[in-house]
């Protein structure tokens, strides 16, 4: 399948999942995860109308931003684990950080930023040892204690277990939604927490059904058969 066919198939699935849960499909944003493709491939995706691009390595992130300096309507997402020493390099170009997984990273962003940075707090809902992030209780405690000027917690992010068991996936995504609503109700300054970044190639349909507003899709989008 071509990129165009891939995109159409994904958009159809998003639309169907939104319909099943009585959601407005316009509330779901597709982030094209382009960590495995080059600038030429990204240009093709851009020409198909994609504007949200996600990268997971700081050095590659800055290279690709530089390659698309003429495309001022691109929204750049950093989706990988971010080392504090790499914050300075990507901060001027990053529109969303999906992986705020520790206080030291938030402190470094606060120290370096000159304007608000939209961040998703990474929550390890499934509490898998191999995954980064706060557990649900830690996430709530963190936002209650934070007093940042530039770090804005726009929502929560999680990665579900690698499973085909839809019941497990629903449970994990429902869990993140519950934490998001709890934090949102607190009404904390700089913590609007309206958004949910969840769902990837294998599970984005379930994520949309459970309230995802940003889904991060790579393989299903860029694989060519």
| CB contact at 8 A, 185 and 152 | no
Residue 130: the pLDDT is 81
State residue 76 phi and psi, 5-degree precision: -95, 125
State residue 192 phi and psi, 5-degree precision: -65, -40
Say whether pLDDT at 191 is over 80: yes
3-state secondary structure of 170: helix
Domains of the chain, with CATH numbers?
3-222 (3.20.20.10)
Q: What is the mean pLDDT of residues 170-193?
A: 98
Cα separation, 22 vs 9, in Å, equals: 20
Please say whether the dihedral angle defined by the alpha carbons of residues 203, 27, 6 and 45, taken in this order, is positive or negative: negative
Q: What is the mean pLDDT of residues 87-94?
A: 97
- The structure tokens listed for 188 are 């904390």
For residue 55, the cross-strand partners are: 78
Q: Which one is predicted more confidently, 102 or 130?
A: 102
What's the pTM?
0.96
Please choose, from the candidates 179, 195, 191, the residue with its C-alpha nearest in 3D space to the C-alpha of residue 150. Answer: 191
- How would you label 19-35 residue by residue, b for 16+ Cβ within 10 Å and e otherwise? eeeebeeeebbbbbbbb
Interval 211-224: pLDDT, tens: 999 999 999 999 87
Q: What is the mean pLDDT of residues 95-107?
A: 98
């Amino acid at each position: 399948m071509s990129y165009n066919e891939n995109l159409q198939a994904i958009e159809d699935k998003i639309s169907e999942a939104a319909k099943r849960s009585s959601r407005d499909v316009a509330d779901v944003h597709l982030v094209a995860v382009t960590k495995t493709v080059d600038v030429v491939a990204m240009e093709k995706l851009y020409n198909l109308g994609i504007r949200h691009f996600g990268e997971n390595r700081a050095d590659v992130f800055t290279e690709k931003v530089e390659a698309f300096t003429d495309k001022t309507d691109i929204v750049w997402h950093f989706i990988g684990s971010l080392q504090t020493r790499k914050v300075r390099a990507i901060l001027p170009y990053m529109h969303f950080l999906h992986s705020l997984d520790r206080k030291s990273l938030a402190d470094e962003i606060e120290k370096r930023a000159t304007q608000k940075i939209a961040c998703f707090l990474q929550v390890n809902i499934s509490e898998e040892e191999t995954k980064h992030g706060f557990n649900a209780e830690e996430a709530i405690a963190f936002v209650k204690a934070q007093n940042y000027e530039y770090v804005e917690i726009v929502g929560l992010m999680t990665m579900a277990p690698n499973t085909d068991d839809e019941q497990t996936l629903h449970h994990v995504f429902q869990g993140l939604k519950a934490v998001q609503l709890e934090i949102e109700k607190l009404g904390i300054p700089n913590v609007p927490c309206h958004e949910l970044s969840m769902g990837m190639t294998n599970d984005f349909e379930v994520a949309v059904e459970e309230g995802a507003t940003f889904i991060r899709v790579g393989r299903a989008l860029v694989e060519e058969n």
